[in-house]
Amino acid sequence: MSSENTSTSGTAAAAGPAPKIGFVSLGCPKALTDSELILTQLRAEGYETSKTFAGADLVIVNTCGFIDDAVKESLDTIGEALAENGKVIVTGCLGAKAGADAGSNLVKDVHPSVLAVTGPHATQEVMDAVHLHVPKPHDPFIDLVPEARGVAGIKLTPRHFAYLKISEGCNHRCSFCIIPSMRGDLVSRPIGEVLNEARALFESGVKELLVISQDTSAYGVDVKYVTGFWDGKPVKTRMLDLVAQLGELAKAHGAWVRLHYVYPYPHVDDVIPLMAEGLVLPYLDVPFQHAHPDVLKRMKRPANGEKNLDRLRRWREICPEIVVRSTFIAGFPGETEAEFAHLLDFLKEAEIDRAGCFAYSPIDGAPANELPGALPDEVREERRARFMEVAEAVSIAKLQRRVGATMQVLVDSAPALGRKGGVGRTYADAPEIDGTVRLLPPEKASKTLKVGEFTRTRIVAVEGHDLIGMPI
């Protein structure tokens, strides 16, 4: 589940209704691609779409300014949206048109009350405007996309990474979770649609694609792995096929693909060789939640009968570089000290690279609330703290092994072209949830760093959960 994903520690909060965005897409296929990119980002961040202007919290109109009729249609649509909703963001070709006076804007001249106006290909600016007017309420329990570390909760996803949501809902019924009752059973998006979206994202400059869903390993189960079509060829709606195609697309664009929310099912074994080949990043976000079989059964976790430690060992034999991130719950109802100790042993033996932990917190409506053996808050909190101590020791020991290595780093920030250094990430770190590499100012004067580009970096030291590197 997604709860299993975001924070490194803490307790889960109650869910609120997702904000709704109305969307009108006018114009040519290029404008449609822009619309798809914006809708992808909205969906990935947890916004819902509204079929009516009145039922939305905000409306986005993607306009066309090609011929007079198109201009009129766009301006009329903006007028309707303003009348019925009042909160409107305008994007697209018409948004780039100048008004009658020098320096003015046509849309703003006609409709001065629009909240923001952008030109075409402006996903990021549109998202920034959405965040400003309808903030995404971050809920660590249900969000698939991690909370931004930005100012006042405004999420500023840089253009060079993007989330690709491949399905909605979940077929599992974990006892601590209410996502299936809120979002329903698994509905996989058609593989052609997912791959088109991925291609559009890569073509728009995305260098890291983060695949998200409630259960990425279950992709296609609901449609019985039906064969779909993409680029004129048959492709099965199945995790392995999806990952292979995404890997090929990423390779063609010199980009990364990172997989989140994968369960340790036997069929995931087939994806590991793709990691060893370098098609997708050797990084797996596996929400284990616990390690003791009895606790996993009480949690009703997917793949709870699997021998997770053996499976991880096998994965690492096939692809030794694999980095595993996971989240856990400490203090689940009935958890004995022995079961908790088993969890700590697992953490050490499995060498989980990045682990987060929630102290168990009952969620309204979750079946686990009825389980006997609820533990006092202090015990849950104390176990979470003990867990994090062990997790940090394991993680730092693994980071130490990187010192001296040369790694590819994707640059996330580089003021003044990196003359004073910058910040980036290796394959081992997902944005917002894992660590970073603090990039030192390059020794070579000719070397510059640019956001969204890769740089070869020699790792020189460990600093807390992060690395320090010298770009070479």
Query: CB under 6 A: which stretch of 66-74, 167-175, 226-234, 311-319 binds ligand SF4?
Result: 167-175
Which is nearest to 249 in space by CA: 193, 213, 196, 319? 196
Nearest approach, Cβ of 308 to ligand SF4 (angstroms)?
15
174 part of the interface to ligand SF4, by CB under 6 A: yes
Q: Identify which of residues 179 and 201 has a Cβ nearer to ligand SF4 in the complex.
A: 179
Q: Which amino acid is it at 248?
A: E
Query: CB under 6 A: which stretch of 84-92, 168-176, 314-322, 413-421 binds ligand SF4?
Result: 168-176
Place of tokens 């932990």: 357
Q: Identify which of residues 64 and 170 has a Cβ nearer to ligand SF4 in the complex.
A: 170
180 part of the interface to ligand SF4, by CB under 6 A: yes
Query: CB under 6 A: which stretch of 174-182, 251-259, 306-314, 317-325 binds ligand SF4?
Result: 174-182
Helix (H) or strand (E) holding 272: helix 272-277
Any residues with CB less than 8 A from the CB of 99 and at least 6 apart, and which?
105, 106, 108, 109
The DSSP code sequence of 144-179 is SSPPP-SGGG-----TTEEEEE-EES-S---TT--H
Q: Is the Cβ–Cβ distance between 438 and 423 less than 8 Å?
A: yes
**Token pair in block for residue 94:** 């018409």
362 part of the interface to ligand SF4, by CB under 6 A: no
Q: Mask 292-331, x = binds ligand SF4 (CB under 6 A)?
A: ----------x-----------------------------
The helix/strand/coil state of 371 is: coil
Binding ligand SF4 by CB under 6 A: which of 12, 21, 44, 170?
A: 170
451 part of the interface to ligand SF4, by CB under 6 A: no
Nearest approach, Cβ of 299 to ligand SF4 (angstroms)?
8
Nearest approach, Cβ of 212 to ligand SF4 (angstroms)?
12
264 part of the interface to ligand SF4, by CB under 6 A: no
Helices 337-349 and 308-318 meet at what angle, rounded to 10? 10
The CB-nearest residue to ligand SF4 is 1
State the Cα–Cα distance between residues 6 and 4, nearest whole angstrom: 6
Nearest approach, Cβ of 405 to ligand SF4 (angstroms)?
34
Q: In whole angstroms, how far apart are CA 70 and each of 66, 67, 120, 216, 249?
A: 6, 5, 15, 41, 34
Binding ligand SF4 by CB under 6 A: which of 72, 149, 173, 314?
A: 173
Query: CB under 6 A: which stretch of 94-102, 166-174, 220-228, 449-457 binds ligand SF4?
Result: 166-174
Question: With CB under 6 A, what is the number of residues at the site for ligand SF4?
Answer: 11
179 part of the interface to ligand SF4, by CB under 6 A: yes
Binding ligand SF4 by CB under 6 A: which of 20, 155, 165, 172?
A: 172
Nearest approach, Cβ of 48 to ligand SF4 (angstroms)?
17
120 part of the interface to ligand SF4, by CB under 6 A: no
Binding ligand SF4 by CB under 6 A: which of 34, 215, 339, 432?
A: 215
Binding ligand SF4 by CB under 6 A: which of 58, 116, 117, 177?
A: 177
Residues in the chain: 472
Place of tokens 């499995």: 350
Q: Which amino acid is it at 135?
A: P
Binding ligand SF4 by CB under 6 A: which of 25, 74, 91, 214?
A: 214
Q: Is the Cβ–Cβ distance between 451 and 413 less than 8 Å?
A: yes
Query: CB under 6 A: which stretch of 177-185, 198-206, 346-354, 463-471 binds ligand SF4?
Result: 177-185
- Edge to edge, the sheet with strand 116-117 lists 48-50, 20-25, 58-63, 88-92, 116-117
Contacts 24+ apart (CB under 8 A), 129-134: 129/89, 130/21, 130/42, 130/47, 130/58, 130/60, 130/89, 131/155, 131/156, 133/58, 133/87, 133/89, 134/19, 134/21, 134/47, 134/57, 134/58, 134/87
Any residues with CB less than 8 A from the CB of 36 and at least 6 apart, and which?
196, 197, 200
| Contacts (CB under 6 A) with ligand SF4, residues 95-114 | none
Query: CB under 6 A: which stretch of 165-173, 336-344, 427-435, 441-449 binds ligand SF4?
Result: 165-173
Nearest approach, Cβ of 72 to ligand SF4 (angstroms)?
46
Which residues contribute to the site for ligand SF4 (CB under 6 A)? 1, 170, 172-174, 177, 179-180, 214-215, 302
